[in-house]
């Protein structure tokens, strides 16, 4: 599974990083999220899905 954050949609709510801190981090300059790695680590797929569901802006994009 692959993951990315749409920078044009992200508003910095930090919910993805709270749901999956191993997958997402926050930029120091604006507080917006980014995926630490494009590939979701094995066994962390459910956390990535939860992060996508929790994003009010739907900025977390998952692909198989």
Cα distances from 49 to residues 9, 26, 29, 30, in angstroms, run 17, 18, 26, 24
pLDDT at 18: 97
* Each residue's pLDDT tens digit, 2-60: 999 999 999 999 999 999 999 999 999 999 999 999 999 999 999 999 999 999 999 99
pTM for this entry: 0.91
pLDDT at residue number 20? 97
Which domains are seen in the chain, by residue range?
2-63 (3.30.70.20)
pLDDT at 27: 96
């Amino acid at each position: 599974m692959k993951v990315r954050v749409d920078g044009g949609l992200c508003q910095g709510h930090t919910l993805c990083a709270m749901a999956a801190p191993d997958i997402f981090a926050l930029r120091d300059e604006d507080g917006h999220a980014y995926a630490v790695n494009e590939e979701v680590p094995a066994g962390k797929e459910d956390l990535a899905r939860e992060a996508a569901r929790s994003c009010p802006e739907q900025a977390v994009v998952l692909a198989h």
